[in-house]
Amino acid sequence: RSDTLVHNHDSLLSAITSFLNSGHPFASMQNIFNFLWCIWKARNELLFEHRKVHPNKIHIMAANTDCALQAEALVSGQVYSSFSDSLNNEQHIPLQGTTIKSDLIIKGTKIYSDAAFRSSKIPGILRGQVGTGIGIYFSIPVDHGELNIQIQASAPVTTDPTHAEAKALSCAALIANKLNVQQPTFLTDCLPLASAAASKTISHPATPWNIRNELASFNSIYSILNAQVFHISRNLNGVAHNLAQQVYQASDQPLMICSTRSHDTNLCPVAAALAQFSGTGFQLHKVYCY
């Protein structure tokens, strides 16, 4: 529990000193102040912009900031100068389908997807049966800020975890197409899937047969949206992961929530675009736009 971290401390300085002396491998001065700054930034967004920041996003922000600081330190010390180019020059972004250590090098819309293999937390399935839980997180740059969309969806049961991840990626592409998102970057924590998707073909011998239908669906939209796809670590995919794993709310219709001030109170464009999502093989359960 977080309250135990400050137990017997009557000042912030005392608590930080205790953290530094705790012996924890991540209890460094940089990590502590980096995390405090991200919490402060989230607090300001809530107070001044009325935007609620999910706790997992604070962790992702802190992780990304730490990666950027480490990269800057490497560059300034001329230990690994090529990483500087990858942060500042789009031409030096790694090949599609490979792993990127920080999503800060990606410009434009980022779409994170993850899946829960053999999930029993999906409304409508009978007791003892399972399905595939899907979590999708959109981060879309807009004027003076960012539009975030969290989506919980589900699909029929899949044959293995890679098949489940392919379902999630295919669902994310369908939603991106519905929202008319151009030049997005799809991010998944399944490296074999990212590699197969980036190949832009389903006939490669290394591509498993059980994901080829999902890849064909993804590829058809991939080219239309002029998209790209990369692999990221689970730590950077925390929001989508938690959305896929959470207990879904039982409802005949997807729950649409919008707290974005720039959207019409009675007609959120995201909700309107996703109102007719039936017939895709996926079931939307919750869409949260903020």
User: Which CATH number fits the domain that encloses residue 208?
Assistant: 3.30.420.10
Average pLDDT, the chain: 83
Residues 82 and 198 in one domain: no
Cα–Cα distances (Å) from 124 to 117, 132, 155, 240, in that order, read 17, 12, 11, 22
Residues 49 and 103 in one domain: no
User: Positive or negative, the Cα torsion across 273, 238, 248, 123?
Assistant: positive
Highest mean pLDDT among 1-5, 34-38, 230-234, 251-255: 230-234
Q: What is the pLDDT of residue 90?
A: 46
Residue at which a domain ends, from 66, 88, 110: 88
Residues 202 and 172 in one domain: yes
Count of C-beta atoms within a 10 Å radius of residue 231: 23
The gap from C-alpha 46 to its chain's centroid, in whole angstroms, comes to 20
Mean pLDDT (whole number) for 188-205: 92
Judged against a pLDDT cut of 60, whether residue 168 lies above it is answered with yes
Mean pLDDT (whole number) for 228-252: 87
Residue at which a domain ends, from 72, 88, 104: 88
Phi-psi region of 43 (alpha: psi -120 to 50; beta: other; left: phi over 0): alpha
Mean pLDDT (whole number) for 30-52: 81
Cα–Cα distances (Å) from 108 to 79, 112, 141, 184, 185, in that order, read 29, 13, 6, 6, 8
Residues 84 and 98 in one domain: no
Q: What is the pLDDT of residue 87?
A: 47
Q: What is the pLDDT of residue 279?
A: 64
Residues 97 and 52 in one domain: no
The values of phi and psi at residue 158, to 5°, are -115, 170
- Three-state DSSP at 142 gives strand
Residues 198 and 212 in one domain: yes
Residues 97 and 123 in one domain: yes
Query: Rounded CA gap, 57 and 258, in Å?
Result: 18
Q: What is the pTM of this model?
A: 0.70
Residues 197 and 58 in one domain: no
Residue at which a domain ends, from 71, 88, 105: 88
Domain that holds residue 195: 93-289
Q: What is the pLDDT of residue 91?
A: 43
Residues 74 and 10 in one domain: yes
Judged against a pLDDT cut of 80, whether residue 284 lies above it is answered with yes
* Cβ neighbours for 113, distance < 8 A, ≥ 6 positions apart: 134, 135, 136, 137, 165, 168, 169, 171, 172, 186, 187, 188, 240
Judged against a pLDDT cut of 80, whether residue 20 lies above it is answered with no
Give the number of domains in the chain. 2
Phi-psi region of 154 (alpha: psi -120 to 50; beta: other; left: phi over 0): beta
Residues 142 and 193 in one domain: yes
Judged against a pLDDT cut of 70, whether residue 241 lies above it is answered with yes
